[in-house]
Amino acid sequence: MTVDIVVLGAGYGGTAAIRSLQSELGSREDVSLTWVSKEDYHFVLHESHRLIRDASVEAEVTVPVEEIRSSGTEFVQGEITGLDVDARTVSLADGSEIDYDVVVVCLGSRTAFFGIDGLEEHALTLKSLDDAMAINEEVRAAADEASENEPAQAIVGGSGLTGIQTAGEIAAHRTEQEIPMDVHLVEQADGIFPGHDHEFQGSIRNKLEDHDVEIRTSTTISDVEESTVHTEGGDEMDFDVLIWAGGVSGQRALESADLPKDHNRIYTGATLETDEDRVFALGDGALMGQNEEDSPLSEQAIWEAIVRPDASNQAPPTAEAAMEAGEIVGQNVTRKLKGEELINWTYTDKGTLVSIGDDAVAHGVLGVPVNTFSGSAARTIKKAVSARWFAKISGPGRVIRSWPDM
């Protein structure tokens, strides 16, 4: 009897899970592996901001499924609309269903708008290739209408990683093309990149200001009209381009899935299993619990326990965490088929890298004695991270082709 394993999604988690499962399962004839995704490529989301300045790098930030999957893995292109854990079926937008014995849910996240009137209607987001291309087009259209007397206005809401990199890329494009455009970064908290080290925040702020990005902290957007942002303080900001990067939520496809979840993000244990033992989940669309009592303590885990004892015991919703979890889930699914004990996974923070135009800022990079740094060293490490990922999922040829545009 064949065991049907289905992986949902082609983001970092889904791609890493497929590669891991292909390696772990080998040529077993008693197991079938199916990969389901709306798109027939993996989109390298952490490089998506590059498309804002240069749409021609599309080929370098998308990796076709055919470069990633082995000949024994079936790929189904389709939009996932539902998961029935009782019937063990995955529903697609075309009305078809896919049966599974074990499913790995890696559907990522969508942008959260927090009920702000007019925000979803008027703002662009950056979660996909189409999103990046839309921002590119809107920025260029705004530039065409701009003048020195009436410069275009670009507003980025939210100063997390996506917001910072988006604002930096628009500013770099403006400078390169000598476009009369003002770039504003708006943040509700009292500092940019909330929750991070103060030295790191300061270095990022300095780089943004070097790129003439106006930073407005302690500013809450209350509602949005067609070309105007209103704030809770009563201020108005007119815009030609508005990008919202203020938060994430789980996918609507998981709305009716009978699994413990918060805003459609599925809770898992440290093995990446949910409370349904045939359902695993990981990545941005999961709340991945960490069981440090049964796992080797990483340097990061020790630091968190000492400095932030009340911190949430969950892995962060980052690309690096999804990559790590994807590798572990392949091992755990295979162990489950063999009746072996599953591995408890603990995320290891290897550091944070932020691009601001052609500049970069690095913080907490494992093995580097300097806490926060920028310049060519930070840029090279950021490129090396992307190169390592391309090498894992595709091969050295992809690394060589993509290196100049990273």
Q: What is the pLDDT of residue 294?
A: 45
What is the reported pLDDT for 305?
43
Predicted confidence (pLDDT) per residue in 49-60, tens digit:
999 999 999 999
Q: How many domains does the chain have?
A: 3
Distance CA 193, CA 365 (A): 17
Q: Report the pLDDT value the prediction gives residue 312, as an integer from 0 to 100.
A: 53
Residue 103 in domain = yes
Q: Are residues 96 and 147 in the same domain?
A: no
The answer to whether residue 184 is domain-embedded is: yes
Q: Predicted confidence band at 231 (pLDDT cuts at 50, 70, 90)?
A: very high
Residue 275 belongs to a domain with what CATH number? Answer: 3.50.50.60
Output the pLDDT for position 238.
98
Top-confidence range, 141-150, 293-302, 382-391: 141-150
Residue 386 within a domain: yes
Q: Could you tell me if residue 308 is inside a domain? A: yes
Q: Are residues 68 and 150 in the same domain?
A: no
Give the mean pLDDT of 320-342.
96
Indicate whether 99 belongs to any domain: yes
* Bigger pLDDT: 43 vs 304: 43
User: Are 54 and 73 in a shared domain?
Assistant: yes
Residue 405: pLDDT above 90? Answer: no
Q: Are residues 235 and 279 in the same domain?
A: no
Is the Cβ–Cβ distance between 63 and 18 less than 8 Å?
Answer: no
Give yes or no: residues 54 and 162 share one domain.
Answer: no
11 neighbors 285 (Cβ within 8 angstroms):
no
Asked whether residue 164 falls in the same domain as residue 266, the answer is no
Higher local confidence (pLDDT), 189 or 293: 189
Residue 399: per-residue pLDDT: 83
**233 plus 218 within the same structural domain:** yes
What is d(CA 196, CA 262) in angstroms, rounded to the nearest whole number?
24
Q: Which pair of tokens denotes residue 32? A: 């079938």
Cα distances from 188 to residues 157, 210, 219, 245, in angstroms, run 9, 22, 5, 12
The domain of 367 spans: 352-405
The count of other CB atoms within 10 Å of the CB of residue 92 is 18
Residue bearing tokens 């302690």: 218
Instruction: Give the distance from CA 185 to its chain's centroid.
Output: 20
Residues 264 and 160 in one domain: no
347 φ, ψ to 5°? Answer: -70, 135
For residues 185 and 255, membership in a common domain is answered with no
Q: Does residue 292 have a pLDDT over 60?
A: no
Residue whose entry in the numeric block shows the structure tokens 């691009």? 355
Summarize the confidence of residues 275-285 as an average pLDDT.
95
* pLDDT tier at 306, thresholds 50, 70, 90: very low
345 located within any domain:
no
Query: Does pLDDT of 297 surpass 80?
Result: no
Tens-place pLDDT, residues 46-94? 999 999 999 999 999 999 999 999 999 999 999 999 999 999 999 999 9
Clarify whether residues 288 and 391 are in a common domain: no
Q: Kindly report which listed range (99-108, 253-262, 309-318) carries the lowest average pLDDT score.
A: 309-318
Q: Characterize 100-132 residue by residue with b for buried, 16 or more Cβ atoms within 10 angstroms of its Cβ, and e for exposed.
A: bebbbbbbbbbbbbeebebbeebbbbbbbbebb
Pair 129, 243 in one domain: yes
Would the pLDDT of 298 be above 70?
no
277: in domain: yes
Q: Which of 338, 362, 387 is the last residue of a domain?
A: 338
Q: Is residue 114 part of a domain?
A: no
Six token digits for residue 286:
């999961």
Do 127 and 237 lie in a common domain? Answer: yes
82-135 residue pLDDT tens: 999 999 999 999 999 999 999 999 999 999 999 999 999 999 999 999 999 999
Mean pLDDT of 140-156: 97
Instruction: Look at residue 402 in the predicted model and tell me its pLDDT.
Output: 77
Q: Binning pLDDT at 50, 70 and 90, where does residue 406 land?
A: low
Average pLDDT value for the chain: 92
**Domain boundary, last residue among 218, 247, 276:** 247
For the four alpha carbons of 158, 206, 316 and 319, in that order, the dihedral sign comes to: positive
For residue 371, what are the contacts with CB-CB under 8 A and spacing of at least 6? 197, 199, 200, 363, 364
Q: What is the pLDDT, as a whole number, of residue 291?
A: 65
Domain boundary among 338, 360, 394: 338
For residue 290, what pLDDT is reported? 81
